[in-house]
Chain A
């Protein structure tokens, strides 16, 4: 065990899986000698050489396109998109090519690859360094979408993603890259995809969330506890495919649901959670399903702290649900 930040856990996961599996190659903008702008790929080129971790020309569609060609050929590419906000030039290659390759070829060709990208706000990055684009990708059959919220999960989920037979979008909550530390095992280990985690057990209200919002919700849960409300937090870890069972089990227990996300509310992933619970667990609900989300505006710069859900906004929703 070593105490690591989430960022160090990502780096450790890459190092260990590259040792374990020589099909794994890492590439992207500035990921080589510079180790990535956040240093997630620090030391990989030195340890494994320029053929296994290398810089690319500055073109996201090219980074993902060549990753697809490598995956089809039998490699396990792990391309990095420097910020999730820059992923859109590669949108076609991700949603129409990588995600659809297995289906459209009748299983003749498959595309196992992991696209790592830092996402989310809270780093004073403005519109082009802060967005949470998960909803676009969760609308894509054939793709898996994974979001860790702890160092332990970051490494285990990353290794599971790289070993998975399908393309995975691995969204790294950069706001908490260095904020907390946790004991992380040496060597490869897996945290299974498609399985949520109960980050906090409680009986009065369920919060479903993921990524950097987990720690915000934990703070809100502390504040709620001080007011006598017992909050359960479901950390999704994988958004697609979704662990519906974990959500429905929790809601059946608490009878109340608050969904928390950074992304704008309209047509968002939180809407899907709400719909599933409304369809499958309405008989347990004692209050309306509530969503705490980013506002339906572009991501701001100066007023980032106002835009992003914080513990106060989450607590207000918890109180509304409990007092309904």
Chain B
């Protein structure tokens, strides 16, 4: 298990200069309503994840990637963004999508890949894309979004706009060439980018120690010439604070920041993964005690921001919203066969027109293709 380093930024477990426990101080810029909102977003994320995993087990959706245990990383950071900032997520930040204003219904349509999914069933579940919320299309190959986020930030800087980009990735992605290239480009151009690494300590079955020999991930920032901040990733207030500070630096023209949010993947990598094959149970139990929702709740109780009635309303409304969204999504058919050919190009070129016409004529004559009921991911 990775020990909590002394330099870990924490709000919920503050230490005095002598290393003793100190009184919790709410970061400047946060208030009761905002803390309650972040709590709600984390609960919604948990409920969405929980239900989606069950839907996958029931064979109602094909695949899922849970973020259980990591809600604070996504929610705390995305809650610090403005409505002009751009988000380049990986596949494990549903909380960020909710925080920037995506609806649970829109996300659940995507899980079903149905005709109301804005991405028209073009990708596996959790590969969201929401233009209105500037939440860029999720890619499966690791790290590719990192350099793209830098490009958007370079454009924001060229355009002199008061906006930044944030990109999310895990500890595994820090080994990818796009991580190196992205941090290098961003630092050279002082691009207003935040690199948010949710260090959940496992890349599928590969533990952190086999991913990097570096003491921390945050320390890598030094070589690129940017601040590296290490934050308690299960402390939503600390993640919010670190992101807000990085955002202020970016807007002030001071360039990018690498934030390492130390957390833990409580669940499997995906619905296809069984972590009991490779991960020690003691590590899981240790981190289950640091649940980000429970920790925030404890603080809210002590600060008079939490009541039983509030809890009931937050949890029940999240469950109700997820249930209603699932119920509706299951009534929506798959996208029409003709949509297979749209959006390849802005204007459909002749060879695709020809293929579309042939397919539709064949469907008319012989009926459509049949779904292979044995097809499941992975086989």
Assess whether A242 is interfacial by the CB under 8 Å rule.
yes
Indicate if the CB atoms of A106 and B118 lie closer than 8 Å. Answer: yes
- A169-B254 Cα distance, complex, nearest whole Å: 34
Assess whether A75 is interfacial by the CB under 8 Å rule.
yes
Residue of B nearest to A79 (CB): B151
Indicate if the CB atoms of A51 and B158 lie closer than 8 Å. Answer: yes
Given A51-B158, A70-B151, A97-B144, A108:B345 Cβ within 8 A: no
- A108-B132 Cα distance, complex, nearest whole Å: 8
Q: Which residues of A have CB within 8 Å of B139?
A: 96-97, 104
Assess whether B91 is interfacial by the CB under 8 Å rule.
no
Q: Which residues of B have CB within 8 Å of A105?
A: 118-119, 122, 129, 131, 136-137
Q: How far is the CB of B302 from chain A (nearest CB, A)?
A: 42
Indicate if the CB atoms of A102 and B346 lie closer than 8 Å. Answer: yes
Q: Which residues of B have CB within 8 Å of A166?
A: 345-346
Q: Which residues of A have CB within 8 Å of B118?
A: 105-106, 108
Given A61-B181, A244-B351, A72:B343 Cβ within 8 A: no
Q: Which residues of A have CB within 8 Å of B127?
A: 104
Indicate if the CB atoms of B344 and A103 lie closer than 8 Å. Answer: yes
Assess whether A89 is interfacial by the CB under 8 Å rule.
yes
Indicate if the CB atoms of B119 and A245 lie closer than 8 Å. Answer: no
- A71-B146 Cα distance, complex, nearest whole Å: 15
Q: Which residues of B have CB within 8 Å of A93?
A: 144, 147
A interface residues, how many (CB within 8 angstroms): 46
- A104-B141 Cα distance, complex, nearest whole Å: 14
- A108-B119 Cα distance, complex, nearest whole Å: 7
Q: How far is the CB of B335 from chain A (nearest CB, A)?
A: 9
Assess whether B22 is interfacial by the CB under 8 Å rule.
no
Given A62-B147, A65-B150, A141-B344, A104:B155 Cβ within 8 A: no
Q: Which residues of B have CB within 8 Å of A102?
A: 343-346
Assess whether A258 is interfacial by the CB under 8 Å rule.
no
Q: Which residues of A have CB within 8 Å of B234?
A: none
**Which residues of A pack against B, CB within 8 Å?**
25, 51-52, 56-57, 59, 61-62, 65-75, 77, 89, 92-93, 96-97, 101-110, 141-142, 144, 164-166, 194, 241-242, 244-245
Q: Show 26 residue pairs from A and B whose CB-CB distance is below 8 angstroms, ordered by the A residue.
A: A25-B158, A61-B147, A62-B178, A65-B144, A65-B150, A66-B147, A66-B154, A68-B151, A69-B88, A69-B147, A69-B165, A70-B155, A72-B148, A92-B141, A101-B137, A102-B343, A103-B343, A104-B119, A105-B137, A106-B120, A106-B122, A106-B343, A109-B131, A109-B136, A142-B345, A165-B345
Give the top 7 A-B pairs by smallest Cβ distance, nearest first: A69-B151, A65-B147, A66-B151, A241-B349, A105-B129, A165-B346, A62-B181
